[in-house]
């Protein structure tokens, strides 16, 4: 079974530029999560989708971050404009709907904002 | 107060010893609890899940849950250098929340 796919793996941009990350979940996983992980901290949930509907985006900085999940499969997370404090690893995870909530993570995208 | 708190590290144990990792949570509505292992520069990997009070064993790993005390722990028996990693505790379902992790070093 293929795991969660993410791209790109690394990205370096200047502040005020925009960037987009892509995620393809495990086949059949209706729930998709985007996390931000700053060095030395645990993952912080940015947004959770159930199919193509948003379940929780309470910690998403909506003035600069946006995310979509078209057709309930792939998802894109965008940052525009980026700030220095956005430097982090962006993790995508997926899980089966309901029940156990066991999440499986992709390899992540390491973003550096200079 | 953070929703999930883990004992501050780093934790260092000699090879072959038992490593004990602890986690408390604040939301009494949490029903599912997870331990993830994260190697440096890698993404978290699910190693244990527990849903009911008591112990759950999987190989060298034992997860313990006490809902009355809002406490979850992970024991690693016969610790190996390959167990050196950061261990993240998570609680669901009210919000997908992770602790900040405890870094474990197993010394040969």
Show residues of chain B in contact with A107, CB under 8 Å: 42-43
Mean pLDDT of successive 10-residue stretches along chain B, which has 108 residues: 82 96 90 94 95 95 95 97 96 77 96
| Tens-digit pLDDT profile for residues A7-26 | 999 999 999 999 999 999 99
Integer Cα distance of B52 and B65 in angstroms: 7
Per-residue confidence (pLDDT) for residue B59, from 0 to 100? 97
DSSP secondary structure letter of residue A86: G
Q: Who among B43, B45, B95 is closest to A108 (CB)?
A: B43
Identify the sign of the CA torsion B98, B92, B35, A4: negative
Per-residue confidence (pLDDT) for residue B97, from 0 to 100? 79
Local structure of A8: helix, strand or coil = coil
Q: Who among A40, A42, A101 is closest to B99 (CB)?
A: A42
Torsion of CA B22, B26, B29, B35, to 10 degrees: -30
A52, exposed or middle or buried, with CB in 10 Å at 0-12, 13-18, 19+?
A: middle
Closest chain B residue to the Cα of A41, Cα to Cα = B100
**Residue A99 pLDDT grade (very low, low, confident, very high; cuts 50, 70, 90):** low
Local structure of A5: helix, strand or coil = strand
Per-residue confidence (pLDDT) for residue B1, from 0 to 100? 67
Q: For an interface test with B, which of A4, A43, A88, A99 has the most B Cβ atoms less than 10 Å from its Cβ?
A: A43
Q: Residue A46 pLDDT > 80, yes or no?
A: yes
Tell me how close the Cα of B4 comes to any Cα of chain A, in angstroms.
Answer: 10
Helix, strand, coil in percent for chain A, rounding step 5: 5, 50, 45
Tally of CB atoms within 10 A around B34: 24
What is the arithmetic mean of pLDDT over A32-57? 93
């Amino acid at each position: 079974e293929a795991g969660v796919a993410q791209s790109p793996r690394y990205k370096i941009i200047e502040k005020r530029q925009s960037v987009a990350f892509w995620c393809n979940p495990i086949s059949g996983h209706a729930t998709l999560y985007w996390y931000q992980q700053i060095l030395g901290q645990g993952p912080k949930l940015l947004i959770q989708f159930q199919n193509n509907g948003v379940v929780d985006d309470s910690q998403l900085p909506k003035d600069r971050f946006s995310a979509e999940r078209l057709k309930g499969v792939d998802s894109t997370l965008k940052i525009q404009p980026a700030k220095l404090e956005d430097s982090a690893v962006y993790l995508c995870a997926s899980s089966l709907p309901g029940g156990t909530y066991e999440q499986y993570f992709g390899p992540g995208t390491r973003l550096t904002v200079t | 107060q953070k929703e999930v708190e883990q004992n501050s590290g780093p934790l260092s144990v000699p090879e072959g010893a038992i490593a004990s990792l602890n986690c408390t949570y604040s939301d009494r509505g949490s029903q599912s609890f997870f331990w993830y292992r994260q190697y440096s520069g890698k993404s978290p990997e699910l190693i244990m899940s527990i849903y009911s009070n008591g112990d759950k064993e999987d190989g060298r790993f034992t997860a313990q849950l006490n809902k009355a005390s809002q406490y979850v722990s992970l024991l690693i028996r016969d610790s190996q250098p390959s167990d050196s990693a950061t261990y993240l505790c998570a609680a669901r379902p009210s919000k997908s929340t992770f602790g900040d992790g405890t870094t474990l070093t197993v010394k040969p």
